[in-house]
A and B are shown apart, each in its own frame.
Chain A
Amino acid sequence: MTSSALEKQSVKRTPSEVLGVRGLHMTFGGTRALNGVDLTLHAGEVHALLGENGAGKSTLIKVLAGVYVPDSGEVRLDDEAVDPHRSKLPIAFIHQDLGLVDSLSIAENIALATGYASSGGLISWRQVRQRAGRLLARNDFHAKPSDLVSSLTAAERSIVAIARALALDARVIVLDEPTASLAEADVARLFDALRDATAAGAAILYVTHRLDEVFRLADRVTVFRNGRLIATHPVAEASSAQLVEEIIGTDPGEVFVSRSDGEAGATKIAIEDAVVAGIGPFSLEVAAGEIVGLTGRRGAGHELVGRCVIGDRRLDRGTLVVDGERLDRQRPRDAARGGIGFAPAKRAEEALATGLSVRENLFPNLGLLGSGKFSWRRPRAERRRAAAAAGQLKVRAASSEAPIETLSGGNQQKVVLTRCLETGARTLVLEEPTTGVDVGTKAEIYHKVVELASGGASVLMISSDFEEVAGVCNRAVVFNRGRIAGELRGERLTVPALISMAIGGEGSSDD
């Protein structure tokens, strides 16, 4: 065992390698999730990890956590090969949800990980609190150890999570998009806490989508794409243009359809001076025959716009007009009846009727197909219609009677989209329409969306996938931290432009 040697590791030898991976290969099915990855982490550095979803970042993290065993390659700690799957390494993982228990106090949350201080077999709550107090004293932290985690701000929670990681003598802290739900002031506090941690000798692996954070915080940056480590740079020598190019690569792929920049029709959706849940104020119009992408980093606010259009949320201020009718007080029922189709991003939670068949999932609300609640429906006719409907997007299923949960994610998504089409919806709100969908299915979905738009439907595509937005939409409205950062269309609608607008400090517009 090397653990006693590890603890004696001096933090003053910089740059000394704490953790490294050599030649990692990992394949899932036919996909190469990691393809010969070499990476080193130095004590006291913040090392940023950039890349799109599916680039291999999370696979790497799961290998470090011992969740996945790589096909080949090794993980090295202090230059000795180790097996994360077998032995516990001094690495702490802080995911977006932080792993804190809201209903317990700060002190208890720390004690959950470090063990409760006890005297005479009983928990000594005084010591538990004192220990938490000591751990958090070094930060600019005002909450008391006895405060409930639920009473803390988002930044305070991440600081508790980091303090807990350090209390476990973690020498490497892995953070996975910790700022996704943080406001700007909180981000600054979190960064201070992270700098304290590196000053104490910890190495930080910081997974992010945000270039601005890389430049503010990181010492080095590594870019992943398609399972490969593309490059590692000292941040001082990297430019954002170079990083963006490395993130997206040179081939945008043939997945996308050539969008027709035809003339837009009459206005279908008009939102004016809207404010919802601290997002906005913003104004937005969608015309018939138009595919408008609402995009930004997760949590930027674009998701809420679609939710307002389908009546799931109400605007706090401002007006929403669809087809010339004011709808700011509508419910999902009104939206559905008004011909607004919706495909939610969270398929399992919000779209699929699990346990029911493909047919039943194609026609879950028969009222929208024009039949009354108590009008007779003919099962045979419905089966025929299900087969025809499923043929539109080539749903692959054993039969229309197969339970929906036996279909692959892509086919489930096709069912959800077909469901909207079958009701004859002329306005579509599509949330992350291709998450968890393979490339071939993506192409089919995009073709269908473009076909619908050419037929006069208006499509609001809420997507955090910049390639998709750039590839399919006529126009993109980019949100950045709750505001519209700008709008891009035509030739200016490119992935780098979207990224810089979505993560940049200032927005620009081509109007």
Chain B
Amino acid sequence: MTDLTVDETTEPRLAARVGNAFRSLFSDGLLLVVLIALIVFFSLLLPDTFPTTFNMRSILSEKSVILLMALGLALPLVTNQFDLSVGYVLCLSHILMIGLQVRTGLSWPLAALLVLLAGAAIGLVNGLLVTKAQINSFIATLGSGTAIYGVALWYTHGEQVVGNISPGFIDLSGTTAGIPRAALYALVACFALWILLEYLPVGRHLYVTGANPRAAELLGLPTQRYTIAAFIGSSTLTALAGIILASQLGVGQITVGPEYLLPAFAAVLLGATVFKRGRVNVWGTVVAVLLLAVTVSGLQQLGAQSWVDPLFNGLMLIVAVGVAGWVSRLRAAAGRD
């Protein structure tokens, strides 16, 4: 037993354990239950179009970009900071990825490297604005994001960036063993971030910084460095998402990017209500991304128009934050008994 000083008397054995497992499935794993229910529901309702390899594949490849962004966003959110610039970072990075190849004539690996570095540099600036200039992260990243959008607009003059792209780059978003490669990259990123947050000291330090920055500082943690690193991670992962998006689209468009911000945010915050109750975590984020994707896809196949997507994402963000707050208040109340 790993318990400290537990009141054994208040815990009847087997019945309690089954009850606890049941309860934790519905409080901790509620979102997973809902996801499975939705998949079953849409499969029964749309047996010809929903449970198909084609549909699954398109959901996976499309949502991998959002998942990568969401994983990035999770880092600043763990340290209790917002990064609103990622939508524009996605926009600029996918444009640059195409532009560096067709306009500058760089090979795609070199272009990809430069895009990742640009992403990291943006994150560094965001991090410095928040820690050194002490600007609220919401405002700082809203400002920097809009400025990035300006740069993207200047680079494209508002026109599509198109041209000859090497087959090798397009192949980046192909399939391996029938699975979209984008999903595999996202899966690798999930494992990497999961290990970082749950199994490496860095993860603990990031969570402590987010939970109480003042305490973290007094405990001897370099909180500013962690915060800056979180922002760098966020925009670098978004730049990676931009590279994959560029490979999928084959063109760079100024209008693509900002609309990815909200679903990514909704996924991280909704994901915080699963598995680790009230805490931003990797697998919760994955479940939330899939839940949003499955619902929107199912509704659209039932004949809903494309406006369902933003409507649903917006409402889910509100519900996610509402539920997260409610759950943590319930826990606080339960803990006080």
Contacts and interface: CB of A to CB of B under 8 A. Distances in A.
B6 interface: yes
Interface stretch (A146-154, A255-263, A364-372): A364-372
A310 interface: yes
Q: Which residue, of A332, A364, A372, A406, has the highest number of chain B Cβ atoms within 10 A?
A: A364
Given A352-B215, A365-B221, A376-B199, A406 B335 contact: yes
Contacts of A397: 4-6
Contacts of A87: none
A340 to B, nearest CB: 9
A353 B212 contact: yes
A342 B221 CA distance: 13
Contacts of A367: 201, 205, 220-221
A477 to B, nearest CB: 23
Given A374-B200, A377-B199, A353 B2 contact: no
Contacts of B334: 406
Nearest to A355: B211
A506 to B, nearest CB: 36
Contacts of B3: 387, 398-400
Interface in B257-301: 278-279
A405 B334 CA distance: 11
A351 interface: yes
A351 B212 CA distance: 8
A358 to B, nearest CB: 7
Contacts of A231: none
Nearest to B328: A355
Contact of A376 (B200, B214, B328): B200
A378 to B, nearest CB: 8
A383 B211 contact: no
B202 interface: yes
A25 B330 CA distance: 34
A367 B221 CA distance: 9
B218 A350 contact: yes
A354 interface: yes
Contacts of A364: 204-205, 208, 215-216, 219, 221
B201 A387 contact: no
A336 B211 contact: no
A433 interface: no
Given A353-B212, A364-B219, A406-B336, A399 B200 contact: no
A351 B218 contact: yes
B218 A352 contact: no
B208 A356 contact: yes
Nearest to A383: B2
Interface string B313-337: 0000000000000001001101110
Given A350-B214, A364-B219, A406-B335, A373 B2 contact: no
Contacts of B220: 332-337, 365, 367-368
A147 B195 CA distance: 57
Mostly, the B contact residues are helix
A356 B212 CA distance: 10
B28 to A, nearest CB: 12
A391 interface: yes
Nearest to B337: A406
A242 interface: no
Q: Which residue, of A312, A333, A352, has the highest number of chain B Cβ atoms within 10 A?
A: A333
Given A333-B222, A356-B207, A383-B2, A373 B331 contact: no
A335 to B, nearest CB: 7
Nearest to B209: A353
A391 B332 CA distance: 24
Nearest to A420: B219
Q: Which residue, of B201, B207, B221, B328, has the highest number of chain A Cβ atoms within 10 A?
A: B201
B217 interface: yes
A400 B2 contact: yes
Interface residues of A, number: 51
Interface string A373-401: 11111010001101100110011111110
Contacts of B2: 383-384, 386-387, 399-400
Contacts, number: 131
B171 interface: no
A355 B215 CA distance: 13
Nearest to A385: B2
A353 B208 contact: yes
Q: Which residue, of A363, A368, A374, has the highest number of chain B Cβ atoms within 10 A?
A: A374
B198 interface: yes
B6 A398 contact: yes
Nearest to A369: B201
A308 to B, nearest CB: 13
B4 A400 contact: yes
A404 to B, nearest CB: 9
Given A375-B200, A386-B2, A312 B218 contact: yes
B14 to A, nearest CB: 18
B4 A365 contact: no
Nearest to A360: B204
Contacts of B6: 397-399
Nearest to B195: A376
Nearest to A349: B214
Contacts of A342: 218
B4 A355 contact: no
Q: Which residue, of A312, A353, A373, has the highest number of chain B Cβ atoms within 10 A?
A: A353
B219 A332 contact: yes
A344 interface: yes
Q: Which residue, of B199, B220, B332, B335, has the highest number of chain A Cβ atoms within 10 A?
A: B220
B212 to A, nearest CB: 5
A399 B205 CA distance: 21
Contact of A358 (B1, B4, B336): B4
Given A358-B4, A374-B200, A379-B198, A405 B215 contact: no
A332 B202 CA distance: 18
A373 B214 contact: no
A33 to B, nearest CB: 20
A376 B195 CA distance: 9
A402 interface: yes
A301 B137 CA distance: 35
B328 A375 contact: no
Contacts of A356: 207-208, 211, 279
Contacts of A349: 212, 214-215
Contacts of B221: 333, 364-365, 367
A403 interface: yes
Given A337-B220, A351-B218, A403 B335 contact: yes
A146 to B, nearest CB: 31
B286 to A, nearest CB: 20
Contacts of A394: 5
Interface string B134-172: 000000000000000000000000000000000000000
Contacts of A337: 220
6 contacts: A344-B215, A364-B219, A365-B205, A365-B208, A402-B335, A406-B334
Given A394-B5, A406-B331, 12 more contacts: A333-B221, A353-B207, A355-B328, A365-B205, A365-B219, A366-B204, A379-B198, A387-B1, A387-B4, A402-B335, A403-B331, A406-B332
Which 3 A-B pairs rank lowest in CB-CB distance, beginning with the nearest? A336-B220, A406-B335, A366-B201
Interface of A: 310, 312, 332-337, 342, 344, 349-356, 358, 360, 363-368, 371-377, 379, 383-384, 386-387, 390-391, 394-400, 402-403, 405-406
